Amino acid sequence: ILRYRYNNLPMDRPGRYLYIRDNQTSEFWSPTWQPVAKKLDNYECRHGLGYTKISSSYKGVDAEILYFVPLEDDLEIWSLTLQNNSSEKKELGIFSYAEFCLWNAISDQRDLQYIQNVAVAKYDQIENAIFYHLFDLSSYIAFFSSNSKVTGYDCDRESFIGHYRSEANPLSVENGKCSNSQALGGNPIAATCNELIINPHETKKIIFTLGVVKEKSHAKRMISKYEKFENVEIEFLELKEKWNKFLEKYFVDTPDKDFNCNINIWNPYQCKTTFDWARYVSFYETGISRGIGFRDSNQDTLSVCHTLPNLVRKRLLELAKNQFENGKVYHIYFPLTGEGDYPNYVNPRMKFFSDDHLWMIFAVSNYLRETGDMSILEQDVDYVEGSKETLYDHLKRAIEFTNYHMGPHGFPLIGTADWNDTLQLHGPNNNGESVMVAMQFHKALSDMSEIAKEFNIKNDFAKYNNLAKKVNDHINKHAW
């Protein structure tokens, strides 16, 4: 919904911004520190499970902003609480700011000029909300609303910020009023102004909502729902309850409180986040240009089998569809379409990564140990070419592929690379080997022999046991 600039360092802009203006002195600041960056009297940023809460104080005004996404609706909530801790009445202007994007991250970077021609952002007086869409019949509509009647608004970025300025000193905030601009082209934003009078030691609240819908009527329903403080409170309690139930599945108690906090809360929280979003929050994987790593996604299942077994089962079967009949797999895949691909640096003569397909064995083996669900092995799964076999057969083909691509020392050929994607030492004759993958292959063979034993397939059990011993001998002979 909102714009993200991939080269935004060191400014980290734009963002979800609020400004507080003392209309008696014309001084303004941001309760989140950014983007005004004025020194605050107190500041605290607290990241919780599914929410962020920022608290600050400046010249007698205490502010707290709670950001979270409800479980069922496609919007985020900014819940602002203000308290006047001074002995004087405060007349405040509350300005919001959010910069819309072109809906698609790549297009927003590559075709920025396009949004200048097709953006439409207008204030709807009846709904007390700003609506944004593209007038080329885009299927999405963004909205930004407040449960307090606005005294002004801006939908055009340049009108709000002004020329030769930035988000740190917007012209509208400096003047104490918005210009009520519409965006018919240009750079669309949602900026609103609410005016509050807060008596000494009085507290007032405002709720802002930012969401996306396909039909405007759906936005009206959500705006109506979340303008009520009690509904926001209920949604926040349900969000916390969801995470509490998730964390109840695993609990450790040791004398070290910090260790307990990490193992019981933040580690499972981070593992689930990684399972849901892969590497898309890192600087390397920015969510554009390429798919999710096949090996990465298999690795992500290892840490959540005990908390999300049903979702792991589904993920393992989805991943297996990216395997070819010869046993190799795509290096990356796109979860929304299920399609796979290779990165542009893949070696055209060795079009595989030597470890990717083996991670599927590790992930399935881990799932079996955790759940005891042997039925997954009998599930039919497509290959890339369209044929279909059981998941167990897929695992067998992964073993066969590595065993067929062995180098002169009895180690797996490195292919394009092994786990270290930049270690592309396949050599001029493409006979480069990987000691690491040799050890992984030994582990995969050991896992497969256990699975075959549990499945009562005696021939496979003996085959994988013997092959594991052979690989073990090669490692001890050549790798030390």
Both 366 and 342 in a single domain? Answer: yes
Residue 138 scores a pLDDT above 80 = no
Contact 226, 218 (CB under 8 A): no
Note whether 49 and 55 are within 8 A (CB): no
Give, in order, the Cα–Cα distances in Å from 284 to each of 278, 279, 287, 292, 420.
12, 8, 9, 12, 14
The pLDDT value recorded for residue 281 is 59
Cα distances (Å, whole numbers) of residue 292 to 173, 223, 330, 440: 42, 35, 10, 22
Instruction: Render the burial of 351-380: b for 16+ CB within 10 Å, e for the rest.
Output: ebbbbbbbbbbbbbbbbbebbeeeebbeee
What CATH number did the domain enclosing 389 receive?
A: 1.50.10.10
Q: Look at the chain and report how many structural domains it folds into.
A: 2
Please check whether residues 164 and 68 belong to one and the same domain.
Answer: yes
Question: Looking at residue 39, what is its pLDDT?
Answer: 97
Q: Max Cα separation, the chain?
A: 86
| Residues carrying an active site annotation | 421
Residue 289 and residue 203 share a domain: no
Chain segment 382-433, per-residue pLDDT in tens = 999 999 999 999 999 999 999 999 999 999 999 988 888 877 777 778 889 9
Q: What DSSP state is assigned to residue 95?
A: E
Q: Does any domain span residue 403?
A: yes
Closest CA to 145 of 210, 93, 100, 65: 210
In terms of domains, do 205 and 264 share one? no
pLDDT tens digits, residue range 297-317?
Answer: 999 999 999 999 999 999 999
Structural domain includes residue 435: yes
Residue 320 phi/psi, 5° resolution? -60, -20
Residue 227 in domain: no
Cβ burial, residue 249 (10 Å; 0-12/13-18/19+): exposed
Cβ-proximal residues to 113 (8 Å cutoff; 6+ apart), any chain: none
The answer to the question of residue 230 being in a domain is: no
Task: Give the mean pLDDT of the chain.
Answer: 92
Q: Is residue 159 part of a domain?
A: yes
Q: Are residues 266 and 210 in the same domain?
A: no
pLDDT at 7: 66
The closest of 143, 67, 145, 139 to 103, measured between CA atoms, is 139
- For residues 309 and 189, membership in a common domain is answered with no
Would 77 be classed as within a structural domain? yes
State the pLDDT at residue 229: 97
CA distance 414 to 78: 50
Our separate counts of H helices and E strands in the chain read 14, 19
The values of phi and psi at residue 176, to 5°, are 85, 10
Under 8 Å between Cβ of 43 and 31: no
The 3-state DSSP class for residue 315 equals helix
Q: For position 357, what pLDDT does the model report?
A: 98
The reply to whether 239 and 282 lie within a common domain is no
9 occurs within a structural domain = no
pLDDT band at 288 (very low <50, low <70, confident <90, very high): low
The pLDDT-based confidence of 292 (bands split at 50, 70, 90) is confident
Q: Residue 5: is its pLDDT beyond 80?
A: no
pLDDT of residue 282: 58
- pLDDT higher than threshold 70 for residue 34: yes
Tell me the residue length of the chain. Answer: 480
Q: What is the CATH number of the domain that holds 59?
A: 2.70.98.40
**Domain assignment present for 206:** yes
**Which of these, 122, 134, 139, 127, lies nearest to 190 by C-alpha position?**
122
What are the φ/ψ torsions at residue 29 (nearest 5 degrees)?
-155, 170
Alpha carbons 14 and 6: distance in angstroms, whole number: 11
Alpha carbon distance 351, 341 (integer Å): 11
pLDDT at residue 10, rounded to an integer: 72
The pLDDT assigned to 105 comes to 73
Cα 333 to Cα 105, 110, 278, 279, 338, distances in angstroms? 18, 23, 11, 13, 7
pLDDT for the residue 104? 74
DSSP annotation of 353 reads: B
In this prediction, what percent of the chain has a pLDDT beyond 70?
96
What is the band of 90 on the pLDDT scale with cuts at 50, 70, 90? very high
307-366 confidence digits (pLDDT tens): 999 999 999 999 999 999 999 999 988 887 878 888 877 777 788 999 999 999 999 999
- Structural domain of 95: 17-215+235-243
Mean pLDDT of 89-105: 92
The answer to whether residues 80 and 205 belong to one domain is yes
Strand segments (E) across 125-277: 129-134, 141-146, 152-156, 183-184, 188-198, 203-213
Same domain membership, residue 294 and residue 196:
no
Model pLDDT, residue 192: 98
Q: Are 216 and 141 in contact (CB under 8 A)?
A: yes
Distances 129 to 96, 123, 211, 222 between C-alpha atoms, Å = 12, 6, 11, 11
Q: Are residues 239 and 283 in the same domain?
A: no
Do 209 and 264 fall within a single domain?
Answer: no
Q: Residues 198-249: pLDDT tens digits?
A: 999 999 999 999 999 999 999 999 999 999 999 999 999 999 999 999 999 8
pLDDT at 286 over 60: no
Question: Looking at the structure, do residues 78 and 206 belong to the same domain, yes or no?
Answer: yes
